Structure 1
Amino acid sequence: MSTSVLYDVPGPKAIMRNRLIAVATVVVVLAVVAFLVYRFALSGQFSATKWGIFTYTVIWEQILTALGKTLAAFGLAAVLSLVLGFVLAIGRLSDHRWVRAPFMAITELFRAVPVLVMMMLLYYGLPSVGVKMEPYWAVVIALVVYNGSVLAEALRAGIESLPRGQKEAGYAIGLRKSGVMRLILLPQAVRAMLPVIIAQLVVTMKDTALGFIITYPELLYLAKQLSSNAQFERPLLQSAFVIGGIYIVMCLIMSWIAHIVEKRLRSGPGTAGGETTSTGTVPVQPGDPRLHLDGTLTEVLSVQHDRP
């Protein structure tokens, strides 16, 4: 029996068994979907009255306004989360214990507090000490505190996973610690942890929905208002489908952007070195614009071929 690198190639009986399992799985899924559609139709969820609320222009204007509120909170929270993540990650990697310990304590504390609890503390707790905070800032700060600490751990893990020789090579060519971190370690860590970073940003976008608890007028808050409309027989499922579909589209767009960014980063310019010509390899001198750091520290070896 021929084998692959990771597992044995299935034989005729295994192939037939896998096909039967796949067909059975598809049949079961289709049966569940058909049953749900039947129950929805039986309870009148597809009636024109329940969906009629989405035929009004004013409703879609409200949806666009709520979408803008959601994106406004997400946009600022995403940027600040990345900034906080970089700061906490670099602080945790400090060689000085008196610097590393406070950053570690802050990171662990921020990761331990749930986002909703932080929002409620900021919005309902601060007024008890004489500080009133708008729902927008309560949502943004809570998202930044939690997601920034999670991103910090992701970046720290990415930096510590790099070969030790990368850092030592940076010191060998005369870079200081800040230069090694900025030019060598961070670019590689960001590239390696890009899927994790994008996934956490998607979580940040979805966590904006928690703002409806503190009356922030985002998409979920609007869906709750629409579902309580008695004129259209309280279209709860209809509102959930429409608003949920908007969230799905936004997450798919972010995943598509992440795929493009990751593809461009992985297919960047080649490593530095000599430029090959018909006469051999032209050596690259220090300071030559062709010499670059493509996320890694590359040793340039130039070979001058003698002409015959």
Structure 2
Amino acid sequence: MLDLARLRALHAVSVHGSVSAAAVALGYTPSAVSQAVTKLERETRTTLLERRGRGVALTDEGRHLAATARQLLALVEQAETELEERRGRPAGRLVVGAFASAARGLMPAVLARLGSDHPALDARLLEVDPHLSADLVSQGVIDLAVTHDWDIAPLAAPEGLERAVIGDDRCDVLVPEGHPLAGREVLDRTDLPHHRWICQPPGAVCHDWLVRTLRATGHEPDLAYQVAENHTHLALVAAGLGITLMPRLGRGPLPAGVRAVPLEPVPVRRLFALWRTGAARRPAITEAVRVLHEQWPLRTF
């Protein structure tokens, strides 16, 4: 009989594309994932992974078995959901995926509350890119995703997923003290051109919003510094190198020398929770969504 934990490891490699990424998703070491797949190869007397440069790729047999593993894991989830529903209380493992600023600004309070209220629930956190969240939920890698969208990129829940709005996260323009915009009480979009900008790299929704907004004023943006981490944005603003647009969630206290100026109309990103329709009755899911709603008004920016 095939070992379910080893099938789970193979499935994770197929979803994430590497042993190391699968290990992060599962909370294992890369060595443990490699050993699990090796043992599965011995059980099946089949080569499931093959070396490709510095990485690995699934063989045809590996892809076939990974697809079967996905079906088996879905059946296991269904059985676990039914058992948990019969118990009537959250229990078992719940893997929550959240984007970086939600993982920092919202999830600590949510996870602490779930842990204190439900000792039988093993809630875990995986930081994931918002663009990947829906696929990871669909594939069963995570149970619940905290993700977001903007008006220029609405989030559509794929077939088989359900969602609930958590709240709206407002954005401000952050400027160095002494900057020409620092003394303003409020800005509008015509104030944004002709400044050196610090922004997310191309492909990020924040980057796309800024480029579209500035071009709509008839100006090409001066994107002088393109970095992913918000704390790096803050450090660059504090050094007087440029200005940035930043959501409030997870931002934390502003460093000395940085001022937040509201922008009208306010750029807003909307946060959602996503989960599989088949798990909608699971008490762990319904309770996690309830706590997300409960904690959202209590967050501090």
Pairwise TM-score range, normalised by the shorter structure: under 0.3
The structure carrying a bigger strand percent of its residues is: 2
TM-score by length of 2: 0.19
Determine which structure has more spread, i.e. the larger CA radius of gyration: 1
The structure carrying a bigger helix percent of its residues is: 1
Q: RCO (CA 8 Å, sep 6+): is it higher in 1 or 2?
A: 2
